[in-house]
Amino acid sequence: MKIQGKALIMGDNVNTDVLHPSRFFSLDDRTVRSGFLQAAAGYEQVGGSDLSGRVVVAGDNFGCGSSRETGARAFLLAGVRAVVARSLARIFSRNVRNLGLAAVECPALPTLPQDVEVVLDLTRGRLIVPTLSLDLALTPLDPFWVAVHQAGGLLPLLGLDEPAPRGASLPIYQGTP
């Protein structure tokens, strides 16, 4: 399986409070979506823009901090296709994978230019950057996480829910049903 998209480059130790500030904590997906990257210095505007098909490419310990799943959900609501980081924080990586998003680690990841086109080959376990002739190894996923990804999330894997539609087509839940 391959995921190709324009990279959204982020740095090291980017925490959940900057990815999704707690004031955007809500049961209303419109509020959750609007909080994406709203305390990440220099990313506020891009956070509010259409990010369909983008691949977030980050440094070490990406997503450290809180367990608030609104932070992970904001990635899906924004249309992000995948996350690749030099290393991922534990709770965050579980959260995004549980929701059906691909999140992988690439230990040799160098700093890439903003918006560069990247290809994640999840079958072969490679991160490819064609314009820079880079072809880097991804840390193999545990078979459990492969199964979660293939099922479209944790709950579908366990037979507890239908898989959520991917990316920009994710239905926006508007508060009180």
Partner 1 sequence: MTPRTLTEKLLRRNVAAPIVAGSDMFRIPVDLVLGHDATIALLIERFKRAGRRIWDPARCFFAADHFTPPSTPERADILRRYLTFMKEQAVPADLAFRGISHQLLVEDRRCQPGMVICGADSHTVMAGALGSFACGMGSTDILALLLTGEVVLSVPESIRIDFVGTLPDWLFGKDLALEIIRQLGEGGAVDRALEYHDLTTGGIPMESRLAIANMSVEAGATNGVFVPDATLRRYLEQRDGGAGPLPGFEGSWVIPDDGAPYVRRLRIDVGALRPLVALPGDLSRIVAAEDAEPRAVDQVFIGSCAGGRLEDLEAAARVLRGRRVAPGVRLVVTPASQAVFQACLRNGIFDVLSEAGAMITNSSCGACGGIDKGLIGAGEVCVSTSNRNFRGRMGSPDGLIYLASSLTAAAAALTGTICDPRRVLDEAQLAGFFPTPTAAPAPRAEKVA
Q: Which residues of 17-38 are buried (b: 16+ CB within 10 A; e: fewer)?
A: ebbbbeebeeeebebbbbbbbb
Site of interaction with partner 1 (CB under 8 A): 13, 15, 17-18, 21-23, 25-28, 38-41, 60-61, 64-70, 72, 87-91, 94-95, 98-99, 142-144, 147, 153-155, 158, 160-161, 173, 175-177
> In whole angstroms, how close is the CB of 160 to partner 1 at the nearest point?
5
CA distance 55 to 153: 18
Residue 72 or 78 with smaller CB distance to partner 1: 72
Residue 82 or 89 with smaller CB distance to partner 1: 89
CA distance 78 to 168: 7
> In whole angstroms, how close is the CB of 46 to partner 1 at the nearest point?
15
> In whole angstroms, how close is the CB of 147 to partner 1 at the nearest point?
5
CA distance 171 to 78: 11
Residue 101 or 127 with smaller CB distance to partner 1: 101
Which residues partner with 137 through β-bridges? 126
Residue 14 or 129 with smaller CB distance to partner 1: 14
Residue 42 or 133 with smaller CB distance to partner 1: 42
CA distance 15 to 60: 11
**Cβ pair 91, 15 in contact under 8 A:** no
> In whole angstroms, how close is the CB of 77 to partner 1 at the nearest point?
13
> In whole angstroms, how close is the CB of 54 to partner 1 at the nearest point?
22
Residue 145: φ, ψ to 5°: -70, -30
Residue labelled with tokens 């296709």: 81
